[in-house]
Amino acid sequence: MGKTLGELAAFLGGELRGPADLVVRGLAPVDQATPEDLTFIAHPRFARLGETTRAGAVIVSPQWAALDKPLIVVEHPYLAYARVAALFARARPGWTGISDQAHLGAEVKLGRDVAIAPLVFLGEGVCLGDRVTLMPGCYIGPEAIIGDDTYLAPNVTIHERCRVGARVVIHSGAVIGTDGFGFIPTPEGQLKIPQLGTVVIEDEAEIGANVTIDRGALGETRVGRGVKIDNLVQVAHNVELGEHTVIAAQAGIAGSTKIGKWVGLGGQVGLVGHIKVGDRTQIGAQAGVTNSVPPDQVLLGTPAWPLKETHRIWASWHTLPELYRRVRKMEQQLADLTATLERKSET
Amino acid sequence: MGKTLGELAAFLGGELRGPADLVVRGLAPVDQATPEDLTFIAHPRFARLGETTRAGAVIVSPQWAALDKPLIVVEHPYLAYARVAALFARARPGWTGISDQAHLGAEVKLGRDVAIAPLVFLGEGVCLGDRVTLMPGCYIGPEAIIGDDTYLAPNVTIHERCRVGARVVIHSGAVIGTDGFGFIPTPEGQLKIPQLGTVVIEDEAEIGANVTIDRGALGETRVGRGVKIDNLVQVAHNVELGEHTVIAAQAGIAGSTKIGKWVGLGGQVGLVGHIKVGDRTQIGAQAGVTNSVPPDQVLLGTPAWPLKETHRIWASWHTLPELYRRVRKMEQQLADLTATLERKSET
Amino acid sequence: MGKTLGELAAFLGGELRGPADLVVRGLAPVDQATPEDLTFIAHPRFARLGETTRAGAVIVSPQWAALDKPLIVVEHPYLAYARVAALFARARPGWTGISDQAHLGAEVKLGRDVAIAPLVFLGEGVCLGDRVTLMPGCYIGPEAIIGDDTYLAPNVTIHERCRVGARVVIHSGAVIGTDGFGFIPTPEGQLKIPQLGTVVIEDEAEIGANVTIDRGALGETRVGRGVKIDNLVQVAHNVELGEHTVIAAQAGIAGSTKIGKWVGLGGQVGLVGHIKVGDRTQIGAQAGVTNSVPPDQVLLGTPAWPLKETHRIWASWHTLPELYRRVRKMEQQLADLTATLERKSET
């Protein structure tokens, strides 16, 4: 598993400053690396640790190229780290062939080299592309379609007729295509609105553990190409997520909301239903968004306002008790002044 | 699967304005419907789309009965839509009989026509009513009881001795009857309070995907008849939810809190433990409720106050920086006035 | 299953006031107990219920020792209740031996008396300590290690190479060791940062249902000894949780944040990444923490401030509309005063 510094510098298109034949066997944080590890400095915060790191070699930007260590100098060390990590990563656990402890429904269509682990259930008419991997405990509902090279971690549920693209990763415990939440109160109780739609997950999306994505009431809930969703996120029925949007853990998006491309939602963010969020907008952690947002905004707070304004508001709360004191003091002063003036008038 | 407009108008008790023998084959949103689809207009927002819809026929209220299309005119188009959707809905995926890839513990009691899919585990003494469906990956703990016609989606966990009523639906990944969260700090660490109780889910409830409902510490956690719970909701030990209450995604209810009937909790709402929420009260998304609430309230915000007040408060934040400027300005004016007066007194 | 009051008093080291041979068969809340039950009064709130309880006997503190009932008097009734509950608790559901409906990968190492239920999957090289219990639907990834006496409830997922200590309990639906959430935006889309690390869960920890704990990007995510995590909590990559810390439901902790010992996080709390929370600090429900916090603090609110300050701020919001009115009124008074003075000057 070792790589020479020469190989790595070539792979990264970086400048080698050190012995090309030095071998590193792993990748480690700057403060934990051993002489057998490669490390990297991607943030000024960690720069001074570079001087004391025990790492065998360091990936740095030109800014820190003076470091007295074997170096690979690149423009973007964090990006280089991601690329080297992919070299050192082991393959995800898989399976070979189709386990006879899996259940395959009638008329399933299987691509080439699919991997179906034990304890997997495929409903009738499921269609799997080439090299799909289904880990133990996965359930794929009738007529669901899964694209080439897609990987489902253990205990994933994909409901009937949902469509998952190619090169998608879905993590454990995620539930795709469960009923949307629609009820109408009637004198007899909550009347269920049957959820007739589906979920479509486009190519290269990645869905976190224990995420829930509801099927459309009518039509589709859609997760765009390359979207990345962290754990425990709720995506309600008929939501649309534009390409390359990123959603942090525990965020929730209510029904029919449309989110643009390259949007970022922070952890625990909540969006009401039936709004639109423009491309590239960033929404900070725990924000509550109740209105549509244009492109290229940065919002924070509940209710969500532009970042600067929310910071101003938060700062102002901090001194609110003092403001009350100042107002009270002025009221007294005013009363005194008024009384003084009245006395003067009377005299 | 086609239905004639005549059939549908009769089913809905609506007024037919168009050819009774026109056949529609599906239900679709007004802006996506094809000539083979029925659609509906339930909100003024969508009314103008009625004029351009390609739908074969439209369900409308008397208000939009002038539309130049085959129509079914009803008092409540949204309700009519829900009822028609049920006509067009396919049956949930199921299973026939008892799979020999399921595990049945000793002394299980099975009603008539139960459906037990492969990869299901029933503990000892489990009791299933008639026509219960257990989809793949479900675990039913010892001595749990499940009522007639209840449907458990794939990968649901029901712990020992919990009782689930009739006609209940539990979605994938839900965990019913896990230990409540109770610990006492001691010098040696957190001492666990054993959770001896159970969960009772009454008839016609519906529980969302990846919901967690804890068993009582002593006694029961109770989900009332017809309660509807969205995905990723946390219901702590000894909580009680009154009939027909509706809880949106990612809400959390702490221990021993009692919620009345027909209550609505928005997404990401948090309620502390040991409080009461009165019947029909509505609590807006992301609110944090720290005190008991009488019936028929509408609350919002953290901490939660009546909707109007929270809106007033939120509006006031928006202008807080300006308020600070105004107060500073007045302080200056007051100082000037006082100085002026003092000068006058001196003269 | 009955116990005599004498036995129980001796077990608790309490003072018996009543017949030593009185038998109780269960433990129940003060307002629901029957004459066959033992109950307890641990909070003044429930004291008056002691007079009307039907319980056969009551655990009380010296303060309520005058109650006219068979009593066990102890210093800490709540602690005594927890200890008695352990006596009355039934064993968790288990399994005997290794089911032939489980899948065991090559080269698994099994301790003595392990219990592996049907529908369990063990990857290659998994190592289980003595008396480990794996309930149905559990997945243990390759080379994961699980310590003695650890119990995994149904449908738990432990990913490859993670290490779980001894006497740990992990509840249903929890996912341990899923990929951390790390992507770098590039013109072609979000580039995944491979997550090469693992998760370490130390002895006596307890992890709630549907919790997600991500593996380190490099290095470990670590859950300290005796940590207790409630349901639906998110623990991101490289987080460290100190010993005996307690985290309530739906809290979320972003990447690389380090939390001390004996810390308490309330429900739905959110912590940003790369901060430190000192030992024994308590953070109230729904708080949003964006900066490091010293030891022994009590924080609340978003953004989080010391409890007292947040309470002052919340109280001040409540009267903000009134403050606006007061400021407007003063502005008017000031204007009037100024005008009056000017008129005087002119005269």
Q: How far is B278 from chain C (nearest CA, A)?
A: 21
Per-residue pLDDT, averaged over A197-216, amounts to 98
Q: Is there a contact between A303 and B285 if contact means CB atoms under 8 Å apart?
A: no
Q: Which of A78, A206, A232 sits opposite C234 (nearest CB)?
A: A232
- The residue among C191, C196, C237, C271 with the most chain A CBs within 10 A of its CB, best to mutate, is C196
Q: How far is C186 from chain B (nearest CA, A)?
A: 32
The catalytically annotated residue of B43, B237, B244, B274 is B237
> Chain B residues with CB inside 8 Å of A181's CB?
208, 228, 230-231, 248-249
Mapping DSSP onto H, E and C, the string for C67-100 reads: CCCCEEECCCHHHHHHHHHHHHCCCCCCCCCECC
A partners (3+ CB pairs within 8 A) are B, C
Terminal-to-terminal C-alpha distance of chain C: 99
Separation in Å, CA C312 to CA B301, C132, C185, C308: 16, 50, 42, 6
Q: What is the pLDDT of residue B82?
A: 96
> Chain A residues with CB inside 8 Å of C212's CB?
173, 208-210, 231-232, 249
State the pairing for strand pair C26-27/C37-40. Answer: parallel
Q: Would you say residue C133 has pLDDT above 70?
A: yes
Report how far residue C118's alpha carbon sits from residue A220's, in angstroms, rounded to the nearest whole number. 37
Active site residue B237: yes
Answer for the pair B178, C209: CB distance below 8 angstroms, yes or no.
Answer: yes
> Chain B residues with CB inside 8 Å of C327's CB?
323, 326-327, 330
- Res. A251 pLDDT band, cuts 50 70 90: very high
Instruction: Please confirm whether the linkage preceding A303 is cis (ω < 30° from 0).
Output: yes
Per-residue pLDDT, averaged over B125-138, amounts to 98
Report how far residue B89's alpha carbon sits from residue A160's, in angstroms, rounded to the nearest whole number. 13
B partners (3+ CB pairs within 8 A) are A, C
- The residue among B83, B90, B119, B139 with the most chain A CBs within 10 A of its CB, best to mutate, is B119
Query: For chain A, what percent of residues have pLDDT higher than 70?
Result: 99
- The residue among C161, C192, C211, C250 with the most chain A CBs within 10 A of its CB, best to mutate, is C192
Model confidence over C274-312: pLDDT tens digits? 999 999 999 999 999 999 999 999 999 999 999 999 999
Q: How far is C150 from chain B (nearest CA, A)?
A: 15
Phi, psi of A318 (to 5 degrees): -55, -35
Which residues of C are identified as catalytic? 237
Q: Which of C32, C246, C250 sits opposite B219 (nearest CB)?
A: C32
> Chain A residues with CB inside 8 Å of B243's CB?
189
Per-residue pLDDT, averaged over A167-194, amounts to 97
Average pLDDT of the residues of chain C: 95
Q: How far is A312 from chain B (nearest CA, A)?
A: 7
> Chain A residues with CB inside 8 Å of B136's CB?
103, 121, 139
Q: What is the pLDDT of residue A71?
A: 96
Model confidence over C19-29: pLDDT tens digits? 999 999 999 99
Q: Is there a contact between B86 and A194 if contact means CB atoms under 8 Å apart?
A: yes
Q: Which of C85, C285, C320 sits opposite B194 (nearest CB)?
A: C85
> Chain A residues with CB inside 8 Å of C123's CB?
93
Q: Is there a contact between A184 and B78 if contact means CB atoms under 8 Å apart?
A: yes
> Chain A residues with CB inside 8 Å of C334's CB?
334
Q: Is there a contact between B172 and A194 if contact means CB atoms under 8 Å apart?
A: no
Answer for the pair C280, C298: CB distance below 8 angstroms, yes or no.
Answer: no
- Judging by beta carbons within 10 Å of its beta carbon (0-12, 13-18, 19+), is residue A345 exposed, middle or buried? exposed
Per-residue pLDDT, averaged over B200-212, amounts to 98
Report how far residue B79's alpha carbon sits from residue B66's, in angstroms, rounded to the nearest whole number. 20
Q: Is there a contact between C85 and B193 if contact means CB atoms under 8 Å apart?
A: yes
- Least trusted range by pLDDT, from A24-28, A44-48, A198-202, C130-134: A44-48
Q: How far is C133 from chain B (nearest CA, A)?
A: 15
Q: Is there a contact between C181 and A320 if contact means CB atoms under 8 Å apart?
A: no
What is the model's pTM?
0.96
Per-residue pLDDT, averaged over A210-233, amounts to 97
The CATH class for the domain spanning C103-306 reads mainly beta
CATH topology of domain A103-307: UDP N-Acetylglucosamine Acyltransferase; domain 1 (2.160.10)
Report how far residue B132's alpha carbon sits from residue B207's, in angstroms, rounded to the nearest whole number. 16
- Res. B347 pLDDT band, cuts 50 70 90: low
Instruction: Please confirm whether the linkage preceding B303 is cis (ω < 30° from 0).
Output: yes
Report how far residue A270's alpha carbon sits from residue A71's, in angstroms, rounded to the nearest whole number. 44
Return the residue of B nearest to A303 by Cα: B314
Q: Which of C288, C323, C337 sits opposite A286 (nearest CB)?
A: C288
Q: How far is B277 from chain C (nearest CA, A)?
A: 18
Q: Is there a contact between A249 and C234 if contact means CB atoms under 8 Å apart?
A: yes
CB pairs under 8 A between B and C: 186
- Res. C148 pLDDT band, cuts 50 70 90: very high
Q: Is there a contact between A331 and C326 if contact means CB atoms under 8 Å apart?
A: yes
Q: What is the pLDDT of residue A347?
A: 63
Q: Is there a contact between B173 and C226 if contact means CB atoms under 8 Å apart?
A: no
Model confidence over B263-296: pLDDT tens digits? 999 999 999 999 999 999 999 999 999 999 999 9
Q: What is the pLDDT of residue B15?
A: 96
- Res. B56 pLDDT band, cuts 50 70 90: very high
Q: Mark B77-108 as b/e (b = at least 16 C-beta within 10 Å).
A: bbbbbbbbbeebeeeebebeebbebbbbbeeb
Per-residue pLDDT, averaged over C134-156, amounts to 98
Report how far residue A164's alpha carbon sits from residue B123's, in angstroms, rounded to the nearest whole number. 34
Q: How far is C60 from chain B (nearest CA, A)?
A: 17
The CATH class for the domain spanning B103-308 reads mainly beta
Model confidence over A313-326: pLDDT tens digits? 999 888 888 888 89
Q: Would you say residue A151 has pLDDT above 70?
A: yes
Q: Would you say residue C197 has pLDDT above 90?
A: yes
Return the residue of C nearest to A339 by Cα: C337
Q: Is there a contact between B285 and A327 if contact means CB atoms under 8 Å apart?
A: no
Q: Is there a contact between B321 and A330 if contact means CB atoms under 8 Å apart?
A: no
Q: Return left, alpha or beta for B9; rule: phi > 0 is left, psi -120 to 50 is alpha, else beta.
A: alpha
Q: Find tokens 């108008």 and name the residue.
A: B9
Q: Which of B179, B250, B316 sits opposite C321 (nearest CB)?
A: B316
Per-residue pLDDT, averaged over A214-223, amounts to 96
Which CATH architecture fits B3-88?
A: 3-Layer(aba) Sandwich (3.40)
Q: Would you say residue A297 has pLDDT above 70?
A: yes
Q: What is the pLDDT of residue C347?
A: 62
Q: How far is A188 from chain C (nearest CA, A)?
A: 31
Q: Is there a contact between C334 and A334 if contact means CB atoms under 8 Å apart?
A: yes
Q: Which of A232, A313, A319 sits opposite B317 (nearest CB)?
A: A313
Q: Would you say residue B341 has pLDDT above 90?
A: no
- Res. A159 pLDDT band, cuts 50 70 90: very high
Report how far residue B64's alpha carbon sits from residue B44's, in angstroms, rounded to the nearest whole number. 9
Return the residue of C nearest to A76 by Cα: C184
Report how far residue B134's alpha carbon sits from residue B117's, in angstroms, rounded to the nearest whole number. 6
> Chain C residues with CB inside 8 Å of B323's CB?
323-324, 327
Q: Is there a contact between B153 and A157 if contact means CB atoms under 8 Å apart?
A: yes
Q: Which of A32, A208, A210 sits opposite C181 (nearest CB)?
A: A208
Helices (H), chain A: 5-12, 77-88, 307-318, 320-346
Identify which of C21, C25, C28 has the alpha carbon closest to the alpha carbon of residue C7: C21
Q: Which of A79, A154, A327 sits opposite C184 (nearest CB)?
A: A79
The catalytically annotated residue of A43, A76, A159, A237 is A237
Q: Which of A135, A210, A341 sits opposite C173 (nearest CB)?
A: A210
Model confidence over B177-199: pLDDT tens digits? 999 999 999 999 999 999 999 99
